Structure formats: C-alpha cells, structure tokens
C-alpha cells in the first residue's frame, strides 16, 4: 500500500520556518498585506501584486516564522495547473 | 472584492476525483473549481469540500499526488466523529452533505462518478432529500461552467465598478 505522505500545504525547512502555498484572489492577498502587522514583503513584489487586476487567482508562497514573509506570487493559469497540480 | 453567491455548496467523493483525473479537459475544470472554492460569498476559500477519508483514497490510488493538489480544488475536512458509526463511503458523504446544507446556501451538490449515481440514489438516507442533489459527469461539468460564468460576470462587474 502506498504510504501517504502528509504533504499538505506546508513544509518545514532546516531553520524551522514553515512554508505555505495558498491559492486565493489577489484582492484577498492585498487586504492581508494592508491589514497585517506581521507581514514582510519586498517593495518590488508588493508593486507587482498591486498591478494584478481584481479577481485574478494567484498562487502565493509564504514563509511563516517571525514575521510572515511573502516569497512569491504567480498568476494561476492552466499551464501552472498542469505543472504544479497534476 | 469578487464574491459570488453560489446556490449550492459542493462536496465530492474520490470517485469524482478519479473521473476528473481522466477527463480530457481536466485543467479547465480544476481552474473552475479553484475559482469557485476561493470566491464564495458564504464560504470563502472553503466552498468545495471533500472528506479526508475520501481524499486519502484518491492519494492511495494515485489519482492525485498529494493533499496539496486536492486542496487547491476542495477543502479537505477531517471526518467528524458523528460519521464514525457509518462505514459505507456513500452514506458518509450523504450525511456530510446534509450537514453542510444546515448552513448557507442550505443546499449541497454531491459530485461523484457516473457509475456511482445509482448507489447514492438507492441509499435510504438520500431518499426524499430536497437539500442534497447528487450529480456526475456532464451534469457536474454544466454546474461548474455555470458557476465559473457567475464568477467571471461578478469579476467584470467589480472591475468596471472599481474604475469609476
């Protein structure tokens, strides 16, 4: 029987930081960045996120340690689905 | 913010995932499911549900590679204790669909495979239910296309509204 690996949406790296992958609409991410006191994000990345139009589904990679850091954001299309979900 | 009022919540079983994995245009349907899951007015990021017991079967049978892949389309819910006395997977899904229909939008679709429809309809707990409807194949596709259209309409409306 295949062992089920508990690879949920998080993994733990060697420094003990937890990585999350989240899929959400860009406006939810923008709200989170605006409202959270603990989020860390590069200004360039923040600028890119603010250019993504309302209602776009994005894949967000985050690192939870202290603080929560947004590592990357990618717009989801069928190519990304084919590469990363199937 | 794009938020859509869908008239049914969605729960699926591992048979639906098996069918989905073999569907020729599966990436399109996965995309629809992702948009529906995360844009729901009533259950943002959790509109589509699968029981953990069903998700595990899909992974054991290599239908989806891991929980993360399934989790993009369906929120994985740990089987609640009240289902423990039911061993039959169809009964478990029906009962959980009824449980989901206790909250907005008060109706649930069960998505399964074509060859499982009769099993659901013959289940005594499905009998006379009005708030839960089982769907498969082309019917499920029609629902997903319709819900995705609802999403795109609301998205376009919000984008136009934001310009003003």
CB-CB neighbors (< 8 A) of B2 in chain A: 25, 27, 54-55
Beta carbons of B1 and A8 less than 8 Å apart = no
Determine the Cα–Cα distance for residues A22 and B71; give it in Å rounded to an integer: 10
Name the more confident of B124 and A13.
B124
Separation in Å, CA B33 to CA B10, B111, B157: 10, 12, 21
* Token pair in block for residue A20: 């999350």
Sign of CA dihedral B27, B29, B30, B35: positive
Q: Tell me: pLDDT of A25 over 50.
A: yes
Question: Rounded to a whole number, what is the distance in Å from the CA of A68 to chain B's nearest CA?
Answer: 20
Instruction: Name the pTM for this structure.
Output: 0.91
Determine the Cα–Cα distance for residues B100 and B117; give it in Å rounded to an integer: 20
Question: Rounded to a whole number, what is the distance in Å from the CA of A4 to chain B's nearest CA?
Answer: 7
The pLDDT of residue B139 is: 97
Confidence of residue A84 (pLDDT cuts 50, 70, 90): confident
B9-12/B48-51 β-pairing: parallel
Quick one: which of A59, A60, A61, A65 has its CA closest to A18? A65
CB-CB neighbors (< 8 A) of B60 in chain A: 1-2, 4
Beta carbons of A86 and B27 less than 8 Å apart = yes
**In this predicted complex, what is the ipTM?**
0.87
Backbone angles phi, psi at B136, to 5 degrees: -150, 175
CB-CB neighbors (< 8 A) of A58 in chain B: none
Beta carbons of B159 and A53 less than 8 Å apart = yes
What average pLDDT does the segment B25-51 reach?
97
Beta carbons of B35 and A57 less than 8 Å apart = yes
Q: Tell me: pLDDT of A2 over 60.
A: no
The pLDDT of residue A10 is: 59
* Longest distance between any two alpha carbons in chain A, whole Å: 47
What average pLDDT does the segment A50-79 reach?
92
Determine the Cα–Cα distance for residues B29 and B35; give it in Å rounded to an integer: 10
The pLDDT of residue A13 is: 67
Across the interface, which of A1, A8, A57 has its CB nearest the CB of B68?
A8
pLDDT in tens, B127-161: 889 999 999 999 999 999 999 999 999 999 999 98
Looking at residue B84, the DSSP 8-state letter turns out to be T
Q: Which residue do the tokens 């947004």 mark?
A: A70
Whether the upstream peptide bond of residue B26 has omega within 30° of 0, thus cis, is no
Q: Tell me: pLDDT of B87 over 80.
A: yes
Q: Tell me: pLDDT of B164 over 90.
A: no
Determine the Cα–Cα distance for residues B135 and B116; give it in Å rounded to an integer: 10
Confidence of residue A5 (pLDDT cuts 50, 70, 90): very low
């Amino acid at each position: 029987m295949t062992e089920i690996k508990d690879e949920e949406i998080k993994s733990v790296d060697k420094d003990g930081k937890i990585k999350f992958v989240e899929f959400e609409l860009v406006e939810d991410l923008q709200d989170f960045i605006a409202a959270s006191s603990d989020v860390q994000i590069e200004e360039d990345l923040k600028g890119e996120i603010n250019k993504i139009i309302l209602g776009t589904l994005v894949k967000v990679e985050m690192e939870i340690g202290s603080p929560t850091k947004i590592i990357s954001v990618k717009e989801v299309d069928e190519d990304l689905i084919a590469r990363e979900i199937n | 913010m794009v938020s859509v009022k869908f008239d049914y919540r969605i729960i699926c079983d591992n048979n639906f995932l098996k069918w989905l994995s073999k569907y020729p245009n599966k990436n399109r349907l996965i995309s629809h499911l992702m948009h529906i899951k995360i844009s729901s007015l009533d259950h943002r990021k959790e509109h589509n549900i699968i029981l953990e017991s069903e998700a595990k079967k899909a992974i054991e049978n290599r239908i989806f590679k891991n929980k993360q892949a399934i989790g993009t389309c369906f929120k994985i819910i740990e089987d609640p204790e009240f289902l423990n006395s039911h061993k039959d997977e169809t009964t478990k899904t029906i009962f959980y669909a009824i449980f989901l229909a206790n909250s907005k939008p008060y109706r649930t679709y069960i998505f399964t495979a074509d060859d499982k429809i009769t099993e659901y309809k013959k289940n005594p707990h499905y009998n006379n239910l009005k708030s839960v409807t089982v769907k498969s194949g082309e019917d499920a596709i029609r629902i997903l296309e319709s819900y995705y259209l609802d999403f795109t309409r609301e998205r376009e409306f919000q984008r136009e509204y934001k310009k003003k």
